[in-house]
Amino acid sequence: MIPVLVPDLPTADKLLPFFKEIDHSKHYTNFGQFEQKLTADLERHYFNLHNTSAKATLTNSGTSALQLALLSLNAGPGTRVLVPNFTFPATVTAALTLGCEIVLGDVDDKTGFLDIEDALSHSSDFDIMIPVACMGKVLPCNDFIKIANEQNKALISDCAPAFPYHPLCGLTTFSFHATKPFGIGEGGLLLNEQEIRSAKQITNFGFLEHQVNSIGNNFKLNEYSAAIGLAQLTRLTEIGQQRKTIYQKLKDSLSYLDETCFFYSDDETILENFSYPYFILRFDDPTIIEAITTQFQQAKIGLRRWYYPTIIEHPYFSNHERIRSLNDLKTSKKLASQLIGIPMHNFLTDSDIKLISKNIKKVISHV
């Protein structure tokens, strides 16, 4: 089986010196030396890439980073949070588990981003908005920041697979899950232009000088994960170049497809500030997706239907008393039905790519 995603993490020999140091220090968590160093190094790397100062708070997952952002805004019961219907469920559950009310908005048909005009025309229906950097695409940050400022709304951005290339867009969160382009196993990051004074204590049960002074949870990143992060950071440029090369090889092998079949446009993929997290194809005809699914199963090739079904179509969310929709969400439902993800990772061989292309072509030639 050719898997859809394969983690690309540091090898054991690269990690052993860090782990030996942890053994020696006996400091395994609670803001140890590696957690502190990774925080500083990520801030420095982000500044060098974007020429923008950002304050970092590490967490134990991308979902924790979202919850940290929400808690730093005092979100809770009665807080109305606007999220796109086309997203991974964690964007919703991060707010739902805090007691927030979820307002689902539709998305732009081409980009998959939260529909800006829709958000603007319904600004009285939400307090916080969380646009999602769909499939790692870079959000139109200036547009969302403008809405937030003019309408007095809080802004959190879910940029899970887009580190380090996504610019700041309000409280900006990332996932360091193993399969992400910057993966450490499990981990997350909250970035903001200024330091969020309560962020660190929220990640540690709300403690400040041995007393609980705010709401909090256990969102801390342990020393082993931080060590993996430090080793991974030294490989980040190499990993990015490899992903870009694999992506281009895949696209070249699929040159028989119309350009409209590629979810990422050339304008995005030729940029250096792109993480190449997935390879997404789009077909208007659902029978093609069904046929590719069957063909891939027979050929032992993995595929994934990202964000399918949409949030409102999941059984738990469909009748939840704290979830409502701004409209019929037809664009997001249609988009989800048209997208498939094919294998995209740094361990794809040329023969894998040929096999993937051959099996897609076999389906297309019979349509």
What ranges do the domains of the chain cover? 12-233, 236-364
Q: What is the structure's pLDDT at 181?
A: 97
Which of 49, 310, 27, 69 lies closest to 164 in space, CA to CA? 49
The mean per-residue pLDDT over the stretch 153-160 comes to 98
pLDDT digit string, tens, across residues 79-109:
999 999 999 999 999 999 999 999 999 999 9
Q: What is the structure's pLDDT at 360?
A: 98
3-class secondary structure, 271: coil
With 90 as the cut, is the pLDDT of residue 257 above it? yes
Report which secondary-structure segment, H or E, holds 247. helix 236-253
Q: What letter represents residue 94's amino acid?
A: A
**Superfamily for 236-364?**
Aspartate Aminotransferase, domain 1 (3.90.1150.10)
Given a contact cutoff of 8 angstroms between Cβ atoms, the answer to whether 181 and 110 are in contact is no
33-63: burial string, b at 16+ Cβ within 10 Å, e else: ebbeebbeebeebbeeeeeeebebbbbbbbb
pTM: 0.97
Give the CA distances from residue 216 to residues 107, 146, 206, 219, 320, in Å, rounded to whole numbers and listed in that order. 32, 30, 4, 8, 26
Q: What is the structure's pLDDT at 364?
A: 95
Q: What is the structure's pLDDT at 197?
A: 84
Q: In sequence order, what are the beta bridge partners of 281?
A: 262, 340
Q: What letter represents residue 101's amino acid?
A: E
Q: What CATH architecture is 12-233?
A: 3-Layer(aba) Sandwich (3.40)
Query: What does the alpha-carbon distance between residue 46 and residue 146 come to, in Å, rounded to a whole number?
Result: 23
Q: What letter represents residue 72's amino acid?
A: S
